């Protein structure tokens, strides 16, 4: 419910940003404000619906017969959420972007810049992730998958994260930054995306919620500069998988169970 309420705030403030943009849109979109409003409106409805569906009470109805502490339930729940998100965010982003003929960042241009801004932040954040992964409070949140991390679980988890984050970045950086920027201006688009992205992290571990402000801004600026989603997708996947791997190993050591 919290995410649903903050999503409503997201569209309200984003609509103000769109309404303040008086410049005409790109070729084929003389009414930039209308197209921007459609993108923001549909995105917010989808974003809100997704979070209502994946709420704990909803997932328990989908997977009955287990408690919230059951390892299999947590694993099924995590993968269900990611699969649904991958389908929903990818479908909406491609549908709206291609439908209106807007760029989504599905290119490899400026690959050198993208890779540089993938490697540098990852190297900087790796010691922080390692340090955080050793804290019990952090281990209470991660990894979402609670099964022992054998090779099969690692592979399925990596596939789930990758599919989800491709759709996630298509939504937050492709649709709400690269596609929206020509309609309402680069900074309003970045701020609209950043607002939704931060709201999506407010219920998570406090350090991640605060960090989302900086990572979200960085993802958006690099995507806007390169007009490509390579950096946000690759870096986001690396951070997610590294967090899960480090934390699962730390949890296993703490429980004196081989990782």
Alpha-carbon distance of 55 to 4, in angstroms, equals 10
Please check whether residue 144 is in contact with residue 54, taking contact to mean a CB–CB distance below 8 angstroms: no
pLDDT in tens, 113-125: 999 999 999 999 9
Provide the pLDDT confidence category of residue 9 given band limits of 50, 70 and 90.
very low
User: pLDDT at position 22, please?
Assistant: 43
Mean pLDDT, rounded, for 82-103: 96
Helix (H) or strand (E) holding 141: none
Answer whether residue 154 shows pLDDT above 80.
yes
Name the least confident of 29-38, 77-86, 175-184, 228-237: 29-38
Residue with tokens 């996947």: 237
| Predicted local distance difference test score (pLDDT) of residue 30 | 61
- How confident is the model over 187-191, as a mean pLDDT? 95
- The pTM for the full model equals 0.85
Contact 17, 33 (CB under 8 A): no
Ranking 15-19, 37-41, 154-158, 170-174 by mean pLDDT, the lowest is 15-19
């Amino acid at each position: 419910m919290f995410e649903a309420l903050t999503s409503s705030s997201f569209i309200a403030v984003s609509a103000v940003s769109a309404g303040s943009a008086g410049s005409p849109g790109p070729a084929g979109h003389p009414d930039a404000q209308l197209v921007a409003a459609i993108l923001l409106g549909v995105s917010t409805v989808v974003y809100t619906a997704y979070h209502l569906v994946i709420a704990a009470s909803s997932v328990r109805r989908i997977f009955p017969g287990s408690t919230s502490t059951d390892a299999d339930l947590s694993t099924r729940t995590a993968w269900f959420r990611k699969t649904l998100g991958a389908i929903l965010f990818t479908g909406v982003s491609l549908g709206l972007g291609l439908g209106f003929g807007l760029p989504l960042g599905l290119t490899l241009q400026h690959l050198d810049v993208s890779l540089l801004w993938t490697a540098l932040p990852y190297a900087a954040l790796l010691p922080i992730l390692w340090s955080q992964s050793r804290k019990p409070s952090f281990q209470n949140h991660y990894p979402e998958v609670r099964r022992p991390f054998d090779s099969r679980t690692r592979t399925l988890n990596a596939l789930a994260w990758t599919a989800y984050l491709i759709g996630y970045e298509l939504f937050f950086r492709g649709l709400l930054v690269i596609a929206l920027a020509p309609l309402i201006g680069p900074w309003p688009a970045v701020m609209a995306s950043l607002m939704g992205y931060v709201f999506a992290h407010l219920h998570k571990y406090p350090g991640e919620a605060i960090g989302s402000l900086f990572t979200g801004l960085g993802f958006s600026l690099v995507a806007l500069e390169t007009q490509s989603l390579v950096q946000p997708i690759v870096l986001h996947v690396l951070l997610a998988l590294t967090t899960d791997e480090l934390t699962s190993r730390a949890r296993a050591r703490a429980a004196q169970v081989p990782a």
